[in-house]
Structures are given as C-alpha cells and as structure tokens.
Amino acid sequence: MGEGDVFSAYTAGMTNANNSLSAFRGLRGGGLGLLMTATLFAWIPVALAAPSTTPLAALQEADRTRDGRHDFDFNFGVWHTHIRRVLDPFSGSGEAMELNGTVTVRKVWDGRAALEEIEADGPKGHWEGMTLFLYNPEAHQWTQWFANSQSGTMGNPLIGSFKDGRGELYSQDTFHGRAILVRGVWSGITPDAHRYEESYSSDGGKTWAAAFQGELTRESADKAMEQHTTAETSVQHDFDWDLGTWKIHMRRLQHPLTGSTTWTEMEGTTVNSKVWGGRANLAEVEADGPTGHLELLALRLFNPETHQWSVNFATSGVGMLNTPTGQPIVGEFKDGRGEFYDQEPYNGRAILVRFRIWPIGDNAAESEQSFSDDGGKTWEVNWVNTYTLVKRG
C-alpha cells in the first residue's frame, strides 16, 4: 500500500492503514535488544561500508563535499502543526482535509539522526505516527523513514539533501494502485517555524501535484504531547522492563559458520526510551573494543494486528535502515523471552538469523544471536550480550 493509499485508509475511517513513510507529512509526517544481524555482524567493516544505491539517484545527486549532518537541527523541539491534505492530488478538485496536532522531535547521535513523534486529530479521529531521520555520511544525504501506530512497520524512505536552506527528498510510491514519484520539501525555516510540503508526480517528475502542506510553529518545551489513551494489551509492553540505561558487555565470534572459536569483546552503554507510550521504543548503543567504536540504534515497533514486534537497525556510518535487505527482524515474546527471526545474506549465502533476549531478575538481562545455514536444523551462537542496569528511565 502506498502513501496515498495510507491517507485514503485514514479518510475511510483509519482502518487498515499501512506504514508509508509519508503518511503524516502526507498524512505525513539495540540496545538491550541489541541485535547484530548477518549484515551488522560484520560491522567492521561491512556495516560501515558504502550504503546501497538509491533508485532515485538520477533525480537528485548529493553534494558530496558538503557535511549536512546538522541540516535537521532546526527541527528539534516541540511543535504545533496544522496540516492540509489534498484528498486526490491528481483530480484537480482541491478537496482537502485539515488536521491539527503536536510534533515532538528528539536528537539522536548528536544530530546525525532524529526521532519525530506525531499526534494529530481531524475529522476521522486521532492519529499517531513517527519519522526516523538518518544521515548518510558517505552520500551526504538524509533518509526519512515513517511508521504509524496502526501498522507498526516502516515504509520506503524519502531520500535527499539540503541546499541553501531548503531540503528536497524523493521517493517512489503508489497512489490508488499506480506508481508515482513523491517529492518532500522542507522550507521557510526560521528558529520558530518551518514548512513541509509533499507533491506527487505521475509523469516521471515533469509535473507535480500538491498533496500536502504542514505548517509548524514552535511550542514551549512543557507543551510536549500528552499520550493519547488507546485500547492496549499487555503484549504492547513486552519491552517495558528494558527501558532505561544499561551497561553492556558483548562477546562476538569473529568468523561464524567456519568452525572458528575466536571471540572478541566490547564494553559499552545502551539507552532505551519509550515511544508511543511504550508501543514502540528506541535503543541507542555505543560500545568500544579492539576493533574500534560502535554506534547504532534499534527502533522496535509493535504491530497491533499480528501482536508481533519488528526490530529495525542502523549504524551511524551508513545512515540506512536494515541494509542490505531493507527488512527488519520480526518476532514476539513468550513466557518473558523474546525470539525474533529473519533471512539474510552472509558471505554470499542466504542464512537464517535468530535473536533471543530475556531479563534476569530486575537488574540484569542477556541476549544472543545465532546463525543457521541448514534451514534452522542447527544453530551456532555468534553474539552474546550481558546487561547490567544503571538506572530506570
């Protein structure tokens, strides 16, 4: 389902809404649980290697000499937003829906990433979303990844860069089942206001139809959004025990699936904070060892339909989610233990990845990652993490 279809789901009564990146700004918009998937496992050097090529490279070539890691600094804080969304941008009718809400944006990696939480109300009721902004230091580009609370999964990103105080990012999507291009523009940036607009193109970018306009004005810090009351189940809080700051000790098998018995160790810290009142959470991890410094984040989202969690990873050296597959690892908790699976390439072969995490009493926890190259018949543990609580939060 594309971004236009996401908003259509909202206008139809907010049922079956998917997770397109732009659903708020069009409606639009680790840690403990640290997982080194096959891709991230070779974090030195694979996870910090060159990012994958974007399908819209021909539309926007990054300025590879400019450091844009602080381009989104203007966006940190609490904002009131007024949204005007055109229901069918290609019809020419101009019929639109208006919403009002609050946006709260927090800094990650000292500004090289950011997490935006969104709540808005309109004719069809209350809506929640989030946007994860990641800076790619090699491409000198930003990606915007979106999820809404009804689906709990990430969509395709908008990708682009800033020039002369104006940000332009592009994506491919669908509207009413047809492939389109999407252009997102950040402009009118002052210390206390800015604007975000989205336009759609069905002719390869020759012409653009206005789809969305969001006007944001700064609120005081004490005006941060109040969590909206929603019907909840206990599984939406599977990770609540994980919230806070933890010391982490990592042991990594250097060469999995080779018979290797050589392990390396790292020490670090993970900070886990709630999003959407606990129905999602963000883990920020920093660790050091003989091979260098590791910096990553894990965004964990609850899907209320499937009662499963998806875990999305990024490292600061790449600035993309879940490379190279683009897919998160997915699973659930049973008897207090979380278990998650996916399939990934490793050393040119497809393997299965299993991640497990569990608390040990009130102040400790463990997790482990295993690989299988025989369809899950046997598993080799290759990453073991032990955690000690520093403080709840």
Q: Is the dihedral angle over the CA atoms 372, 373, 374, 380 positive or is it negative?
A: negative
Tell me the mean pLDDT in the region 239-253: 96
Tell me the mean pLDDT in the region 239-247: 96
Does residue 59 surpass a pLDDT of 90?
no
Q: What is the pTM (predicted TM-score) of this model?
A: 0.81
- Ordered by start, the domain boundaries in the chain are 3-223, 234-392
pLDDT tens per residue across span 125-149: 998 999 999 999 999 999 999 998 8
Average pLDDT, the chain: 84
Tell me the mean pLDDT in the region 138-165: 92
Confidence at residue 325, expressed as pLDDT on a 0 to 100 scale: 81
Would the CATH topology of 3-223 be identical to that of 234-392? yes
**What is the homologous superfamily of the domain 3-223 according to CATH?**
Calycin beta-barrel core domain (2.40.128.20)
Does residue 231 surpass a pLDDT of 80?
no
Confidence at residue 224, expressed as pLDDT on a 0 to 100 scale: 57
Confidence at residue 309, expressed as pLDDT on a 0 to 100 scale: 95
Confidence at residue 73, expressed as pLDDT on a 0 to 100 scale: 97
Confidence at residue 236, expressed as pLDDT on a 0 to 100 scale: 83
pLDDT band at 177 (very low <50, low <70, confident <90, very high): very high
Confidence at residue 393, expressed as pLDDT on a 0 to 100 scale: 82
Does residue 16 surpass a pLDDT of 50?
no
Does residue 79 surpass a pLDDT of 60?
yes
- Specify the higher pLDDT residue, 105 or 229: 105
pLDDT tens per residue across span 195-210: 999 999 999 999 999 9
pLDDT tens per residue across span 260-318: 999 999 999 999 999 988 889 999 999 999 989 999 999 999 999 999 999 999 999 88
pLDDT band at 38 (very low <50, low <70, confident <90, very high): low
Tell me the mean pLDDT in the region 14-20: 33
Confidence at residue 155, expressed as pLDDT on a 0 to 100 scale: 83
pLDDT tens per residue across span 341-387: 999 999 999 999 999 999 999 999 999 999 999 999 999 999 999 99
Confidence at residue 4, expressed as pLDDT on a 0 to 100 scale: 41
Instruction: Assign domain 234-392 to its CATH architecture.
Output: Beta Barrel (2.40)
Confidence at residue 21, expressed as pLDDT on a 0 to 100 scale: 29
pLDDT above 70 coverage of the chain, percent:
80
